[in-house]
Chains A and B, each alone.
Chain A
Amino acid sequence: MSEAAETKPRVKLLKYNAVAMWRYTFHNEKCGICRTHITQRCLDCVSAGNDVSECKLAWGRCGHCFHVHCIQKWLKTTHTCPMCSQVWEAERITGHNAADEDDSDDEM
């Protein structure tokens, strides 16, 4: 033990670059209804020229995510998730940049 502690380290760490990986924790990256990436506005908002702040995202308990405008239109006819057909239960509603929201799950 003491011998190992006395020997000088052969390598000295001068600098390091930390790399972090991240990914979304939901299953689909595209809204299954309008097929636009969920980081972008839904097709309704694109057509209407709405700002991205007006287009919210709905996250289901089943782990699927849709634009609020898209899922609302679908829920008028059937109250199930379009991706997995489980009964739709909204878990939370966020803006497109989830980290900016006041939502507790996504605090900075």
Chain B
Amino acid sequence: MATNVRTRRLMKELSTIRKDAALGTLDPILTLEPVSDSLDTWTATIKGPDDSAYSGFVFKLSINIPSQYPMTPPEVRFVTKIFHCNVHFSSHEICLDILKSTWTPAWSLQHVVRAIHLLMGAPEPDSPLNCDAGNLLRAGDKRAHDSMVRLICSRYAERLQPEK
């Protein structure tokens, strides 16, 4: 029965996402959809925030929906390699409070993806998963940090296609 509730709620979320996509209000999310009909795993693509070194690149996320969702948070990680102090450089795991301790069922997958987009633009160097990125920010060397970000982006991330 629990899985049934989870599926129904995910269906509702998907229809909201589709409505927003049709209205053009999904930005900066480019896509957010289930990988298969089972709705167990989703994938998302987001634009790098405009005012950050990630600007102009596209980042892919994978989302795993646990069996107890929405009582427990979705498991989200980057698919695209990224240099960010709150993202593990090898496992691509994301350190974000709403994905752990402060999750509530009032959040949706769309909220989570938006929160990750905001985290990209506002890194938290005091709880780093990537110590090198965190140390550069804590040392105040934004220039070195941003050039490292762009180097990793240009090697691993896709470039944002200009809108027609």
- A residues with a Cβ closer than 8 A to B are 32-36, 43-44, 46-48, 70, 73-74, 77-78, 80, 82-83, 85
Closest to A47 in B: B4
In-complex Cβ contact of A43 among B9, B71, B104 (8 A): B9
Q: Do A33 and B70 touch (CB < 8 A)?
A: yes
Q: Which of B1, B4, B5 has the most chain A CB atoms closer than 10 A to its own CB?
A: B5
Contact flag A43-B5 (CB < 8 Å), given A35-B12, A35-B13, A73-B71 = yes
- The number of chain B residues touching the other chain, given as a range, is 10 to 19
Given the known interface contacts A47-B1, A48-B1, the answer about A85 and B104 at a Cβ–Cβ threshold of 8 Å is yes
Given A73-B71, A74-B71, A34 contacting B106 (CB threshold 8 A): no
Residues on the B chain within 8 Å of A80, using CB: 104
Given known A-B contacts A33-B70, A43-B8, A74-B71, A85 and B102 have beta carbons under 8 A apart: yes
User: Is the beta-carbon distance between A78 and B4 smaller than 8 angstroms?
Assistant: no
- On whether A82 and B105 interact (CB within 8 A), knowing A35-B13, A74-B71, the answer reads yes
Scoring B4, B12, B105 by chain A CB atoms within 10 A of each residue's CB, the highest score goes to B105
